[in-house]
Structures are given as C-alpha cells and as structure tokens.
Structure 1
Amino acid sequence: MSDDKNHVTAAAVLPLVGGADNVTSIAHCMTRLRLGLRDRSLVDRTALQAVPAVLGVVEDDTYQIVLGPGAVARITQAFERLVAEQRSATPAGAATTDTTAMTAATTAEELAAQGAALRAARKRKNATPVKLLLRRIADIFVPLIPALIGAGIIAGVNGLLVNLGWLPGISPALTAIASGFMSLIAVFVGYNTAKEFGGTPVLGGAAAAVIVYAGVAHVSVLGQTLSPGQGGVLGALAAAALAVRVEKQCRRFVPESLDVLLTPALTLLVTGLVTLFGLMFVAGEVSTAIGTGATWLLAHGGAFAGLLLGGLFLPLVMLGLHQALIPIHTTLIEQQGYTVLLPILAMAGAGQVGCAIAVLLRLRRNSSIRATIRSALPAGLLGVGEPLIYGVSLPLGRPFVTACVGGAAGGSFVGFFNMLGATVGATAIGPSGWALFPLLKGNENPGTTVLIYAGGLAVGYAAGFLATYFFGFTREMLTGLDTDPATPPTATATATAPAEPAPTPATAPPTG
C-alpha cells in the first residue's frame, strides 16, 4: 500500500516538473527530492505545491521538492523508475493527463507567491563565489547524512544497552557497526569532493585514504609523528580538492597514450606527499581548534552563545551561510562522538513551530493560511521547517522575527545547561525537532540529556508562540489578514470596484 502511495506521488510530481525529458538529474537528501531541470519554466509550481505529499518547494542550484524524512527516499525511487519508464516508452515532450487533476485541486495563495518571490530573491543574492563554494561543500556532505544517522542511532542503542547492563555479548558487534563508517568517513568525503569538483572520484577517495591509514604513525613531520585520522574530514576535503587540481594539470601535459598510467600515479604521489607533510598537520590543528572552541564557547558563555546561535540560525539559512556549519558538525562528531551545536540550532525550528501556532490562533478567519499551517505543522515538529518558513512566517514578515526570538530562547536554555557542565549533543546531522531524540548524546545519563533537549523545545515553542501572539502583528496587519478569503462580497468588491476602499486580501503580504 505504501509503495502505491509513493508511486502516486511520484506520478503526480513528474508531469508538474516538465516530464521525464525535462529531468537531467535526480538525487535526494534527508527531506528533499533534488532535481536538475533543463527548463524551469515548464514547472507548474502552484500545482506542485498542491500535491498532498509535497511540503514545500525550494528553488536553488537544483529544484528541491520537500517531502519529509523517510518519505523522500521511497518517493525518489518511484520517481526514478517513472522517469526511466517514460524515457523508454514515450516520445520527448509527452505529458500525462494527471496534471489536469492536480491543477483542479490547487488553491492559489498570495502568501505562497510572496514566499516564492523571497526564495528567488535569496537565490540571486546567494550567487556569490563564497556562497556557491559553501553550497558545493554542503553537497559533499549531504549524501553522507543517511549513514551518519544510521551509525548514530546504533551507537545510541549500544550506549543504552551498556548503561543498562543488557546483552553485553552484542556490544562489540554494535560498536563495530556504528564505528566502521566513522573510521572511514574521510574516504567518503574524499570521493564526494573529487566528484563535486570534477575529478575522478576514486582518486579523491584514495588521496583521502592516506589520512586514515594506520601506517602514517611511522611518518614524522618536523619531529612529530603523525596519528591515523589526523586532520579528519577537513584534511580529507583538502586532500581530495588538491587531487582534483593535480589530476587536471596532469591531463594537460601527459601524453594520451600514457595518461592511464601516469595521471593516477602522479595524482596520488603529489597529493599524498603534500597531505602527509603539510595538510594533515594543518588540518589537524584546525580540527582541534574547532573542537576546543566549541567546548570553550558553551562552557563559558553557554546561555548567551545559545541565544545567538538559536536566534540567528533562521537568518543564516536564508543567507545560505548555514552550509558552512556542515563540516564543523562532522568534525565535532568525528572528534567527540557528537556535535554540541546541532541541538542548539534545532531550537530555531521550535521557535518556528510556536510562531505558527500563534498565527493559527490570531488569524481565526483566514481559512487559507490556517490550512497551510495545519498541513505544515507535523513536518515542522519533525524538524522540516521550509513549509512554515516560506509559506507562513517569512512572507508575513514580523512573525519571522518572532520565530527567531523563540529559537533564541530555546537555544539559551540548552546552552545554559551546557555551561553548567551537562552537554547535549547529536550523533548525526540532518534531523532536528522531535526526529533528533534518537540521536541525542551527552556527558550525562541519557534521561538527563533527553530532558534538557525536550525542555529547550518547550521553551522555544512557548517563546515563539508568545512573541508572535503579542508582537507578531500590527493592527493593520490583523485587519487585512484576519478575514475569510472565500467571502464573496470581499472578492466582488475588490474585483469590480478596485478604486473604492476595500479590505486587504487575506493572504496578501503585510505592509507594516
């Protein structure tokens, strides 16, 4: 039955993105189906957002359809099968008749249009060299998230069993399963880096493998012996990027007849020597500084640091700068077994949920916005915030600010306990909200860690709700927004007598 549901969703989405011939690439991350499209003008965005399983749409370097955790992997598989079937069975440009049925169910909302305009503006602003580089770095780590989550959950279960003294015989096996991926994560980072920057992926993986090879313990640099894994994912990223550069240079001067022999050998030799005698040491120092800095920050300024991190995370997402945190999270997980930053940043989502509930209560007559919130809230509770951000708070304006207030309050709560010595971390990146509970880990017993995180969520919900309820709307905003968009007299007045004073449409963006 579940497969049928995923197939129906994929079949509804495909014609709305221009059909199989318009799709150039298919991938997915934790929550989004990421599509490369030849012509984005063929996308029926309004109908796409009306598909029941679609939680939101984000236009970036790829066209991203938010489907939520769990569902996205299954729908992606069904989508890939449909694309393959249509390419082999239908002529180019063919379309199915499903579009008509979906379009009939569409409700065109001005808030959604405003959110789309804000997304487009953000995309234009994000097209800077630094932000494009950060986006590419994010694309290196995003495919690793499922394995990080799987290993993190197994590590958490193993820790619980050890603390309870249950099944001691299985603990070594669970440790091996949970730790195997993390011990070789540098290789996967190297592979993805070379793939992302246009090199041979396996050469990038091979260059990064030098870092985790046990034999580096016999190599001395400036009188210091290297340690296996020194430099971690940052060293792997640098080594693979260098390998791509060396490989491309080799292609320029190595004769074609010798390319298959000399280019791989020279790439690994040059990159390996630079990695061993330079990159590992430098990256190791940077990685250590990141771990020390994060620990010091929360130990000495926990509440204030949490307030800043939780309050500014949503704006960071809007600017595309949050992608710079992905390698930092991964470095902390590699070093300490968990990242202390993610549970604090997750509080931004709690503020967003509290904000949405307040909007739901304040706009009791606006059936359109209330329907959007009701459909997006479950995803928001699980940490998928895009539908609420782009469909509600951001286009409304002031509620986006009050949502940040909720995130700041929740982040300050969790940060305060970190300052007291009770660290709260996550063993993987990607999930947040309630979905982060199975991945929580800290230096206290699991029950204390869960209670602190749950308390942070509760504070974030409450602060986001109160800030939005009392300060999220001006009188003018409420007058214009708290009306029923389906009321015939309003629709007639605005359509036939635009020169006369009339209530602002219920879903229009705020003017104050």
Structure 2
Amino acid sequence: MAPDEPADRHRATAAALLPLLGGAGNVLSVTNCMTRLRLELRDRALVRDAELRALPGVLGVVEDGSSYQVVLGPGTVARVAPELARLAATVPGPGEEPTPGTTAPVTAAALAERGAALRTARKARNATPVKLLLRRIAAVFVPLIPALIGCGIVAGLAGLLANLGWLPALAPGLAAVASGFMSLIAVFVGYNAAKEFGGTPVLGGAVAAIVVYPGVDRVHVLGERLSPGQGGVLGALAAAVLAAYVERWCRSRVPEALDVLVTPTLTVLLAGFVTLYGLMFVAGEVSTAIGHLADRLLGEGGAAAGFVLGGLFLPLVMLGLHQALIPIHTTLIQQQSHTVLLPILAMAGAGQVGAALAVYARLPRNGSVRGTIRSALPAGLLGIGEPLIYGVSLPLGRPFVTACVGGAFGGGFVGLLNQWGHVVGSTAIGPSGWALFPLLKGSHGLGPAAAVYGTGLLVGYAAGFAVTYFFGFGKGRVAELNAPKAAPPSQGVPPSAYSVQEN
C-alpha cells in the first residue's frame, strides 16, 4: 500500500478543501500554477476562511481580484489540483453557510490583522494600469515555468555528464530533450499572450511562430538580413498582442458570414508583416541590450549591483514591479541558457529566513509567533516566503527592513564573485532558496556554482539574523511581544492562518 499513500494524501487534501470552499457547486474552475491552486468561485461568501487557512498543508491564501488562490507549495499543488477538479465535477455541493472560525492567540492575531491591512492597502496601490499590465504579462509566462524547470534540469544534467565525460552517446538525446522546448518557446509565448489579451490563442501562436521560422533569413529589414529567433520571447509577445488587437478589430467590422475566412487571414497577414518588418528588428535590439546590460551590470558593478538587487527585491514584490523581470529572465535564458539575475534576487529570501530566525530567538516567550515561524520556515528555505513575510516580518515592521538588508548582503556576495569571474546563473525561473540548486549553471561548472550560491545563502541568513537581532525591534518592543499573555508553543498558529498576497 505504500506506493498509494501519496496519492491518498493528495485526494484527502482535495476532499478536505472542497467543503471549506463552499462545496462542489461553488467551485466553477480549478487551475494551478507552480505553488497555488487558482480557483474561480461562484460565491466568495461561502468560503470558510478560518478553517481553510488552518488546514494542514495549506501555506496561505491569496485573494487577487476574481481569483481565489490556495498556496500548497511546489509539487503538491500539481497533484491536488486534478483531484479537486474531479471532486468538484462529481460531488454535489452541500450549500453550507460559512461557520465561525477559530481565533488565533492574541499576538498572532494582531500580526495577522496588520498583515491583512497592509495587504489590502498594497492591493489598492497596485491597481494601476502599469501594474495591471505587468500582471497580464506575468500571466503569459507563469504557465511556462514547469517546462522551463524540467528542461533546465535536463540541460544541467547534460552539461554535468559532458563535463565528466560520462555516457557520451546519451548527450545528443539529452540535448534534444532540453533544447526542444526552448527552440519553440516563442510559439508558446504567442499562444498564451493571445489568450490573455483577448485573441484566439492559436492565431497568436501562428504569428509568433514567424519569429523562429528558419526562412526569415531571406527577409531584409533596413538593409540587414533577419535571423531565426531574432527578438526572442519579447518579439513573440509583441507579435501575439498585436495579433489579438487586430483580430478583435476585424471581428467588430467583418460581416459574420465572412468572419471565419477573413478575420484569421487578416490577423495573420497584418500582424505577421508588422512582426517581420518591424517588431523582430526592434525586439532583437532590445533583447541584445538586455543581455549586454546584465553582463555589464554584474561584470562591472559586482558587489554594489548585487547588494542593490538583493536588497530591493522584496520591496519590488510589495510594489508588484517584480513581474517586469519575468520576460527579462526568459530573454536571458533564451540568449545565454541561464539568467544571472535570479540567484542574486533569491538572496532576498535568505535575508527573510535569517530575519525570521532572529525574531524566533528574541521572542522566547511568544508561543504564537514562534509557532508560526516553525511552521513557515521549511517553506521559506525552499523559497516560498509569503507566510513569513505576511505572518511575521511585514506586520512587525522593522524585521521586514532588516530582512532586506540580509538579502542585500547575500546579493552583494554573489555579485562580487560574479565580478571576479565566478558567474552563477539559473537555467529556469520559478524555484528559489534551496530548490534552486538543481537549476544552477556556472562559468566554472556546477560544483563551484553551487558553492558560490550556497555561500551566498549563508551570508544572507547570517546578515538577516544579525541585523534583525540587534536592530529589528524598537525600545520596549521585545518586552511587549514577550508579554505573559502570549500563547504557549503548543497553541501556536501555523503559517496557513495568515492570508498572503503576491502580485
């Protein structure tokens, strides 16, 4: 029975989630990204929030517009999602009304309420046209992350075997498996972009496919010959968005009797020609500039650039501006087979972990906060930082700032080693923390890359801990948080008791 236990556990999780979400009748759709269930609900009021957040295995809850999201973590979410979808399609909804949830111990509840208030205020600030556009662009790339991770790990395995001289006959097969998706990533970007911006997905993919078509090398623009792949994912994104707008314009003007013939033809023709004679050239220049800028930034800036990037990433997440980095990461991976930015930005999570450990050490009599940290720490080490951020550091105030300082020192260390010639990059986006190790790629091989990245994490942990321990609390704040009214450790609230938000 042992092989079936994980499957049974995931089915049990789905079965436990469904009634807390209001029953099958309240769940309209179930999808998932790398760490979250993304749910469309009929009636938000039917969700039993307190019980849902306290459910074992739930790392947090996200409310983002019309989407209700449950954070389960990588791996788990991909297995729970189909089980929940199956149950939602077959089990009748109970029509239960929300039931009062349990209350957290006083100190934890206060932090959770403050985290919720900060989350609400940030959501209001982030509802700007630019940030909403960044969200839509992020939605284009997020579904591609599993393939990027899988192909990235295979590419790392192929490189490792090649460096060791093992199984040379297997190298071409591994290269094909690792590179096939990347050679056609423009098509997938186009498909998702058209879908996100209101067009027909396959038409977006058809126009984006022009970017990687080998025959474009016979087309000349401004006296220069185009090359297959010129413009990369940025060109594909622009082409598909243009195709979506052209298609919508055509559908509003073409008679219904001719729509099936005229609209697809005009969409592909007009958007395709603009892509060939404009977008590919412009996007190619932008993509090249991004690659040169990243190389120059870390090659010359070194520790200073890493310090700034590592220290500002958490605030960028808070402002919703980190989503602009997703196409940049993808462009670097397509150009150079890795992104040098992600290992540095991952140091922000290390600073967060170090800060949480310092809070744990400074509050020996606060059972609720220490319970939250104990439960959230494993996820934080794997790069899932929302429970620590919204349940501990951000509501406390200063520990969030000191966590940023810890990330800055970790980023500065990795940036300095990059400047000294030990370039460390990631072959995919998505994972962070310890989960990033299988995706590392370095100028001197996997071993040195892992050593640099691992030492950077240790620097981030240590700096985040030290700065938070000595400067993370104002005068009298430690005594206040260590007050006897705090609940004992056995009554601690897991990180799932806190709703989280990520843009």
TM range (shorter): over 0.9
- 1:341-397 deviation per Cα after TM superposition (whole angstroms, max 9, x unaligned): 000000000000001111111111111111110000000000000010011100111
Alignment of 1:202-217 (within 5 A): 202-217=202-217
- What SS does structure 2 have at the residue aligned with 1:59? strand
The amino acid that maps onto 1:45 is: D
**CA distance, structure 2, for counterparts of residue 34 and residue 158 of structure 1:** 34
The amino acid that maps onto 1:190 is: G
The amino acid that maps onto 1:21 is: G
CA contact (8 A) 1:47 1:106 kept: no
**CA distance, structure 1, for counterparts of residue 61 and residue 483 of structure 2:** 26
Q: Give how far 1:434 is off.
A: 0.2
Structure 1 equivalent of residue 114 of structure 2: 114
Alignment of 1:78-93 (within 5 A): 78-86=83-91, 90=92
The amino acid that maps onto 1:79 is: L
Change in CA separation of 1:121 and 1:115 when aligned onto 2, cut-off 3 Å:
same
CA contact (8 A) 1:343 1:426 kept: yes
**CA distance, structure 1, for counterparts of residue 384 and residue 138 of structure 2:** 18
Q: Give how far 1:19 is off.
A: 2.6
- 1:135-184 deviation per Cα after TM superposition (whole angstroms, max 9, x unaligned): 01001100000000000000000000000000000000000000000000
The amino acid that maps onto 1:75 is: V
Q: Give how far 1:118 is off.
A: 1.5
Structure 2 equivalent of residue 394 of structure 1: 394
**CA distance, structure 2, for counterparts of residue 38 and residue 132 of structure 1:** 23
CA contact (8 A) 1:56 1:66 kept: yes
Is 2:44 the counterpart of 1:49? no
Q: Give how far 1:43 is off.
A: 2.7
Alignment of 1:468-487 (within 5 A): 468-485=468-485
- What SS does structure 2 have at the residue aligned with 1:475? coil
Q: Give how far 1:206 is off.
A: 0.4
* TM-score, reference length from structure 1: 0.91
The amino acid that maps onto 2:213 is: Y
Structure 1 equivalent of residue 166 of structure 2: 166
- What SS does structure 2 have at the residue aligned with 1:68? coil
Kindly indicate whether structure 1 or structure 2 has the higher relative contact order, using CA contacts under 8 Å at least 6 residues apart.
2
* Matched pairs, number: 482
Deviates more, 1:56-65 or 1:266-275: 56-65
**CA distance, structure 2, for counterparts of residue 325 and residue 8 of structure 1:** 37
- What SS does structure 2 have at the residue aligned with 1:441? strand
The amino acid that maps onto 1:229 is: G
Alignment of 1:103-502 (within 5 A): 103=101, 109-485=109-485
Alpha-carbon RMSD? 1.8
CA contact (8 A) 2:302 2:416 kept: yes
CA contact (8 A) 1:200 1:244 kept: yes
Structure 2 equivalent of residue 502 of structure 1: none
Structure 1 equivalent of residue 95 of structure 2: 94
Which residues of structure 2 form unaligned runs of 5+? 489-497, 499-503
- What SS does structure 1 have at the residue aligned with 2:302? helix
**CA distance, structure 1, for counterparts of residue 47 and residue 307 of structure 2:** 40
Structure 1 equivalent of residue 12 of structure 2: 8
Q: Give how far 1:103 is off.
A: 4.8
Q: Give how far 1:487 is off.
A: 6.1
* TM-score, reference length from structure 2: 0.93
Deviates more, 1:37-46 or 1:142-151: 37-46
**CA distance, structure 1, for counterparts of residue 26 and residue 353 of structure 2:** 36
Structure 2 equivalent of residue 501 of structure 1: none
Deviates more, 1:405-414 or 1:51-60: 51-60
**CA distance, structure 1, for counterparts of residue 429 and residue 229 of structure 2:** 20
- Give the counterpart of 1:68 among 52, 65, 73: 73
Change in CA separation of 1:291 and 1:352 when aligned onto 2, cut-off 3 Å:
same
**CA distance, structure 2, for counterparts of residue 115 and residue 39 of structure 1:** 24
The amino acid that maps onto 2:78 is: A
Deviates more, 1:29-38 or 1:326-335: 29-38
Structure 2 equivalent of residue 58 of structure 1: 62
- 1:285-317 deviation per Cα after TM superposition (whole angstroms, max 9, x unaligned): 000000000100000101111111100100110
- 1:307-339 deviation per Cα after TM superposition (whole angstroms, max 9, x unaligned): 111001001101111000000000000000000
- 1:213-266 deviation per Cα after TM superposition (whole angstroms, max 9, x unaligned): 001011111211100000000000000000001101111221111111111111
Change in CA separation of 1:114 and 1:254 when aligned onto 2, cut-off 3 Å:
same
CA contact (8 A) 1:234 1:327 kept: yes
Structure 2 equivalent of residue 36 of structure 1: 40
**CA distance, structure 1, for counterparts of residue 23 and residue 403 of structure 2:** 37
Which residues of structure 1 form unaligned runs of 5+? 489-506, 508-512
Deviates more, 1:9-18 or 1:286-295: 9-18
**CA distance, structure 1, for counterparts of residue 188 and residue 354 of structure 2:** 38
Q: Give how far 1:7 is off.
A: 1.8
**CA distance, structure 2, for counterparts of residue 122 and residue 455 of structure 1:** 33
Deviates more, 1:347-356 or 1:50-59: 50-59
Q: Give how far 1:106 is off.
A: 6.8
**CA distance, structure 2, for counterparts of residue 298 and residue 192 of structure 1:** 32
CA contact (8 A) 1:367 1:484 kept: no
CA contact (8 A) 1:58 1:119 kept: no
- 1:97-120 deviation per Cα after TM superposition (whole angstroms, max 9, x unaligned): xx87x9569767221222122112
Change in CA separation of 1:126 and 1:104 when aligned onto 2, cut-off 3 Å:
closer
Structure 2 equivalent of residue 26 of structure 1: 30
Change in CA separation of 1:271 and 1:125 when aligned onto 2, cut-off 3 Å:
same
Q: Give how far 1:63 is off.
A: 1.9
**CA distance, structure 2, for counterparts of residue 105 and residue 173 of structure 1:** 56
The percentage of counterpart residues that share the same residue type is 69
The amino acid that maps onto 2:159 is: G
- What SS does structure 1 have at the residue aligned with 2:252? helix
